[in-house]
Amino acid sequence: MSSLPDSWIFTAQCPSRLGTVDVVTRFMAESKNYINEIHSFDDRVSERFFIRIEFQPQGDAFTPESFDDQFAPRATEFDMEWNLTPPGHRERVAILVSKFDHCLNDLLFRHRTGQLDIDIPVIISNHPDLRPLAEWHGIPYYHLPITAETKPKQEAQILDLLEQYDIDLVVLARYMQVLSPEMCEKLDGWAINIHHSLLPGFKGARPYHQAWEKGVKMVGATAHYVNNDLDEGPIITQGIQSVDHAHYPEDLVSKGQDVERITLFNAVRYHVEKRVFLSGKRTVVFSN
């Protein structure tokens, strides 16, 4: 999480050119903003520069409006797009889930214990099974059944709920439905999905059992942004764990779910802490 509770977060990107780091850090020093953490990356392929800074204002006169007014002329010279996030900002996160509860349980636990500085105003599912878990946490739970015939209507209901609850981020915590291209387009860039990563690839039902039959030696998970490429959106985080011949299918499932939990948690954390930059089909992630 942010190193200090009163830190502001500055993020920016622009075309690669000489002086990009200097224009930001010099401004921070001249405007009496103390830098606690800084990450930057210059992508030679895309010729884009990315930077993230956590800072604490040292003067009483600081306001986000004055920051923008004073920094804007310098940023314009570099064609720089930037964003300022205040201390205590909490993203409003909607969680979509089906029957598997391991990722939902983990996110709710980390939210409850303060490991994730987010608000979770709504949980949406195509099954009723996890309603008691949501109700125990005092979170509204919407059961929206889906069939091939009702898919457009069900997805429209989801979008209405996202608007109703003013959602900033959608997390598919093992939501076992293939989203329509139209839904993917609407969620592009602000929805995170988690799925298993097994090599070789095993698709369809019971992937861990398929993997066991092939003697798989590694299980893993991938968290990525949703887009129209099924399970192939820009990757945020990945995790792996070694297994061997002594692991039976149920062991692979258990270990796989462990990896899914931590991988999804880190993806959500990096997103809400403004550590992830979209760069075409790739991401730049300033992990800590």
Query: Same domain, yes or no, for 67 and 106?
Result: no
3 within a domain of the structure (yes/no) = no
Query: Same domain, yes or no, for 240 and 99?
Result: yes
What span, in angstroms and rounded, lies between the C-alpha atoms of 1 and 36? 13
Percent of the chain with pLDDT over 70: 97
What average pLDDT does the chain have?
A: 93
Residue 11: what pLDDT?
Answer: 98
Those residues with Cβ within 8 angstroms of residue 63's Cβ, 6 or more apart along the chain or in another chain: none
Residue type for position 54: E
Domain range enclosing 105: 91-285
Query: Same domain, yes or no, for 75 and 105?
Result: no
Q: Where are the alpha helices (DSSP H) in the chain?
A: 20-30, 64-77, 102-112, 131-136, 151-164, 181-187, 207-213, 249-272
Residue 214: pLDDT over 80: yes
CA atoms within 13 A on the CB side of 231: 17
pTM: 0.93
What span, in angstroms and rounded, lies between the C-alpha atoms of 265 and 271? 10
CATH number at residue 131: 3.40.50.170
Query: Same domain, yes or no, for 167 and 234?
Result: yes
Active site residue 188: no
Query: Same domain, yes or no, for 40 and 176?
Result: no
Question: Which is catalytic among the residues 42, 43, 231, 251?
Answer: 231
Domain boundary among 57, 85, 113: 85
pLDDT in tens, 105-159: 999 999 999 999 999 999 999 999 999 999 999 999 999 999 989 999 999 999 9
Residue 3: what pLDDT?
Answer: 57
Q: Which residue has the tokens 């861990």?
A: 208
Domain boundary among 29, 56, 85: 85
2 within a domain of the structure (yes/no) = no
How many domains are contained in the chain?
2
Domain boundary among 85, 104, 139: 85
CATH number at residue 70: 3.30.70.260
pLDDT in tens, 144-168: 999 989 999 999 999 999 999 999 9
Q: How confident is the model at residue 200 (pLDDT cuts 50, 70, 90)?
A: low
Q: Which residue has the tokens 């409850």?
A: 112
